[in-house]
Chain A
Amino acid sequence: MSSLITPVEHGRTGGLPAWLAHLASSAANWPTAYRARLQERPRRTVLLSALVVLVFAYPLLNRAVLQPFSRNVFPLPAPDDTTVVFMLIFATMAIGLNIVIGFAGLLDLGYVAFYALGAYSAAYLASPHWSGVSILLFSDLPAGFPGIHLPFFIIFWAAALVAALFGALLGAPTLRLRGDYLAIVTLGFGEIVPVFFKNLVNVHFSFGPIQLVNANLTGGPLGINPIDAPELFGIKFGVIHGFNAVYLALAVVAMSIVIARNLERSRMGRAWMAIREDETAAEMMGVNTVRTKLLAFGLGASFAGFAGAMQASYQGATTSDFFMFATSILVVIMIILGGIGNIWGVILGAITVQYVDKTLLGWVGNRLKDTGVAIGSPQLGEINPSQFSFLLLGLALVLMMRFRPEGLLPSRQRAAELHAAPPDQALGSAAVMEIEEEVIEEAEPEDVDATTDPPPEPGAASGPPDTPGRPGGVT
């Protein structure tokens, strides 16, 4: 019986060979597993498979069928390749921000800073920006070509690493803050970083051996370009290479989904959720809350690093204008609309918001113009709905909060939180719970000596009256 109380044992597990063997066996088992799922939940599995096929066929379909006929055949316009790539880039960011806000419950309003750091890291490592040096690695550029030019599979991870490091760097002093305070600090960080990139263009700096005269560190308002297009196995994925990049972005999103889901189902994911539910209780149950929150912040930021590397290499240019504060808010809106806490929900949110913003509104503008001409009032065509995208998103947010606060595809937790009875009523006999002050209330100690009677908690108002007349409320 005492085995109940001893911690589980940690046997040796064989390291890399065992892992590879495990991977091989799961791969070999995949058809069986798929068939089992198909029998268990046929509708869901078929739907999901169809979705995967559709997603992979989309760029071809788009080219062959949708684009030429979209006006006549479909009521809504089909997004072009660039829009699809940006849907996927924002989906990657939404998955990352969902780890921070959705899993760990830390409101990060400066997420765009990590996107910027990822993009600029990628730009530094694959452009002629550092023209004083010539470092080429697996590059088809001629020897002596100015700048650092590393292959995409290196800069991709480097960008994630830089973003994660800055996430940890920002997190270390600030994650002791709770709630609103953290949001404000991250907000400041999100404002500072783009300004920093915009302005470090004529830097004069002298400290010991470091002498900078009129140094161009970030390219200023013009940003950095040209950045090498991503290249893997001899295939290029730049903006000029057709729909290739859609598949690269799909691969990045797929990887992000796997990583985020694996984290969610692990000891770390459970610790994040425990912190979200009750930070104090989590701490008392042995969760090192500072380290765990730091990890959420750092790992969440690394997804923005992926996204930044994608943006910079795909477009071949990056400027600080991409990383204005509004972009942070946009990602937050995406995950709120999609359904905080649910990976599939936040992806849906990212895709929807990008689609509306980049494709639908422009199309509506054109329809307005056509209509204006047809009914003889060309002023109608001067309305540009794209200018109102934030107005419309704000409106959508207000409507969502009113009618479906948990988002389009909510996590079970959020849906329950927002629709069930408050916990006190759900408890039944808990109505007789004591209304002594919370066990380890975070209230200021000053409150304790100021009150003689602990004020009854509003949530427990149905309980019996407290035993009166004792000072303090800390027990």
Chain B
Amino acid sequence: MSAMAGAPLAELRTGHVPDDQLLVRARGVTKRFGGLVAVNSVDFDIPRGAIVSLIGPNGAGKTTFFNMITGYYVPTRGDISFDGHPIVSMKGEKARSKKPHEVTALGIGRTFQNIRLFSTMSALDNVLVGQHVHLRSHWWDAVLRTPLLLAEEERATERAHALLEFLGLGARAHTWARNLPYGDQRRLEIARALATSPKLLLLDEPTAGMNASETREMTDLIRRLRAELGLTVLLIEHDMRVVMGISDRVTVLDYGEVLAEGSPAEVRANPRVIEAYLGRGAAEEG
């Protein structure tokens, strides 16, 4: 899988990767909240098989951008396509967006900055909800407990256990999400996102609140997601060691605009980035 990552990433700037190697292609994406321009005309590419990071100071528009890719916010204007399917397209002067559950069905899974598990459901049920979009049984199958439902439930449960195992949560299947330790909750969120069968995984600050060794484990896990499951990953992260360590490319947002992009080394050396971002309060995190 990492071989796949190497070739198309030779050129690290948006617009330089051929379209057929792109998983996400965003052009001129703008989001206004009243008078505030949260994201201003951003172009952004995610090549297949890449680990791409989106960084920037608080309020730079990172999560807003995430929320537009997943269909939660409708952009003010712009185009976003995913794997050849339009997620956001312009219809006249207005942007049209697919609904979040439709985007999930296309293959985008995500985690949340503040953990948003289904807190009084078991870890297993959380993962099963993630599979919801790909299950076919209807309510009448449930009422009658038809063979379709029974077979599907059995397979889905098996897969949910396998996912929990992969994330190291095998022993926690029947524990309520809220009773899991913090690190396990973070990983359960990833398990739930994987259950949606994504091609692209969006991780919103996966190492927030973790100590050094937990952070290292999380970084290894993200690498494994690409190597073993062939996922493309988009990461929002404040921990610069994580960003610089695993990203193929990094895009810096500031005040809703792209300030810089390129390889981690290029971004780190960019004087504008140092001034706008690393030079301020956030630097101590890096």
Interface residue ranges, A against B (CB under 8 Å): 1-11, 13-14, 18-19, 22, 259, 262-263, 265-271, 273-274, 277-278, 280-289, 295, 299, 412-413, 416-417, 420, 423, 426-430, 432-434, 436, 438-440, 445-446, 448-449, 466-475
Contacts and interface: CB of A to CB of B under 8 A. Distances in A.
Contacts of A266: 137, 139, 141-142, 149, 153
Contacts of B63: 439-440, 474-475
Given A8-B152, A274-B129, A436 B178 contact: no
B133 interface: yes
A427 B139 contact: no
B61 interface: yes
30 contacts: A1-B228, A3-B159, A4-B166, A7-B131, A10-B148, A18-B147, A22-B146, A263-B142, A266-B142, A267-B137, A271-B132, A273-B118, A278-B116, A281-B112, A284-B72, A285-B133, A286-B100, A299-B139, A416-B176, A420-B178, A429-B211, A430-B209, A433-B114, A434-B208, A439-B63, A445-B36, A448-B33, A471-B59, A475-B58, A475-B61
Contacts of B152: 8, 10, 267
Contacts of A280: 72, 116
B33 A446 contact: yes
Contacts of B110: 284
Interface of B: 33-36, 38, 56-64, 67, 70, 72-73, 99-101, 104-105, 110, 112-121, 125, 128-137, 139, 141-153, 155-156, 158-159, 162-163, 166, 176, 178-179, 181-183, 185, 192-194, 196-198, 204-205, 208-209, 211, 228-231, 236, 255, 280-282
Given A473-B59, A475-B61, 12 more contacts: A13-B148, A267-B142, A267-B153, A277-B118, A283-B99, A299-B139, A412-B120, A427-B178, A429-B209, A434-B114, A470-B60, A472-B61
Contacts of B116: 278, 280-281, 439
Given A262-B145, A475-B64, A281 B101 contact: no
A26 to B, nearest CB: 9
A262 B125 CA distance: 15
Contact of A474 (B61, B128, B130, B181): B61
A22 B166 CA distance: 33
B101 A289 contact: yes
A6 to B, nearest CB: 6
Contacts of B179: 426
B62 A4 contact: no
A267 B196 CA distance: 14
B121 A449 contact: no
B59 A438 contact: no
Nearest to B162: A4
Contacts of A430: 115, 182, 185, 209
Contact of B204 (A11, A433, A439): A439
Contact of B151 (A5, A11, A420, A469): A11
A289 B101 CA distance: 8
A436 B143 CA distance: 43
Nearest to B253: A475
Query: Which are the 3 A-B pairs with shortest beta-carbon distances?
Result: A286-B133, A266-B142, A445-B33
Nearest to B208: A434
